[in-house]
Amino acid sequence: MLALRPAPRVAGHLRSQVPAFRRFASTQAPSSPLRRGLYATAFVLSTGLFAAYYFDARSALHRYILTPVLRHALDAETGHKLAVKVLKSGLAPRDRGHDDERLKSQVWDQELSNPVGLAAGFDKDGEAIDGLFNLGFSWVEIGSVTPKPQPGNPRPRVFHLVEDSGLINRYGFPSQGHAAVLSRLRARIPPFQPEHDTAALRPGSVLAVNLGKNKESPADSIDDFVTGVCTFGPYSDVLVVNVSSPNTPGLRGLQNRDLLEKLLNGVTKARDQLPVSPVTSRRPKLVLKLSPDLDEAQIKDIAEVLSKSSIDGVIVSNTTIQRPKHLKAPHRNEVGGLSGAPVKEYSLKALRALRSHLPASIPLIGCGGIFTGADALEYGKAGASLVQVYTGFGYDGVGACRRIKDELAQELEKEGTTWSQVVKNAVDELSLKEHRQSAPIPQSAPIPQSDAGGAGTISQLICDAQELQGLLEKLEEKIESAHS
């Protein structure tokens, strides 16, 4: 067999490259035990950092290094989008802890492992649902979702108020629309598994969809919300009717009494006509999300409308258009909704007022300025059955939920109580009493002139009878709904 030899020119070229190759190889190989030790140390450190990143969501690495670096390196909206993509990828950290028994929460007929949820606005298009549940939230609320895709307001539209632990946004409901989000919700459902107790597809948790309204829709129209109920009802545990964002023109007008009555009648009728969910074998709960900027008279009017409706709960509150005088950050006067620590006083005030005007049968969810377990407990003592975080999550990073839960468990242990007991005591004490009785008139007391002939007493009896009739009608509706 003939031996193949390289051509003289090629062979000479190869020989000329041999010394260079040897020099290159000699520079790449570790030349000493010191260098090998440095490589080994670097490997161990990088492995340790990755373990701290991935397996310990509460580690200081997230709170004091990664999150601040991203906040300073990227503008607020780009950092937000990057966080969503990481959580979507499956490479995000996970909460490996177990929720303390003291944190168990009850809302409607659902027991949750803890009361801490994530508010709408973070995962607007339902891209990172499971990544967020993996961080330990019991309630993940996606959206707001509008029927048609829309870009929202022009950038820049999000501003950090670092000095005030706050955030101002004027996103204006940027949304990929119903079709895109619905496809993601359907894709999450395993095809060959038995039915689940919740649309979250995991025990002790619920999935909520926040329903928004397209900017070009008529201000007084309820059609976008009714469409949202019909679209997402079969794939969610809770539907949130958002009439409180300050960034969509005319939206807050739906909080006015007459329009609110029309809206609630429309969405509850649409919900009650839905077939039971193929995921949970139930219909979703309906929750209204309100603004913290309502005055006492408006809150009272809203409470009266809610009491006569079939609404299942209320979130208090959304962002505020108010600007406290103590704000220090350069962007404090930007147009938009303010969230974070500065909104806490307004949200708590609105929640306490609404709790006093609503019966205990309508639960409230507190939202606004929750950064610590003590903040969460303050909402519980004001009558909130659950709490939601948003800005605190953005500032403290992926460990925020675990940190708040651990701090809350410690606070409850100090007081020798549980979250459920705190909420029950507050709701019983602060809520409007559904059965009010007139104080008995002593026999010796003269009958007031205005009550001559028993007219005042009869009027009171009629009022009581009408109130009782309304309660019975609501009960019958719920029984019929449960059997249908």
The tally of CA atoms less than 13 A away on the side-chain side of residue 156 is 14
What is the layout of strands, in order, in the sheet containing 337-340? 158-161, 166-169, 337-340
Alpha helices in 250-390 (DSSP H): 257-272, 296-307, 344-357, 373-381
CB 152 within 8 Å of CB 173 = yes
Structure tokens given for 224: 């976008």
Q: Please give the Cα distance from 426 to 130 (Å, whole number).
A: 33
Of residues 165, 245, 317, 339, which has the active-site annotation? 245
CB 335 within 8 Å of CB 170 = yes
Q: Please give the Cα distance from 280 to 237 (Å, whole number).
A: 8
CB 225 within 8 Å of CB 214 = no
The tally of CA atoms less than 13 A away on the side-chain side of residue 176 is 13
* Sole residue written with tokens 């000493």: 32
Query: Which secondary structure element, helix H or strand E, spans residue 290, and what is its range?
Result: strand 285-290
The answer to whether 245 is a known catalytic residue is yes
Catalytic residues: 245
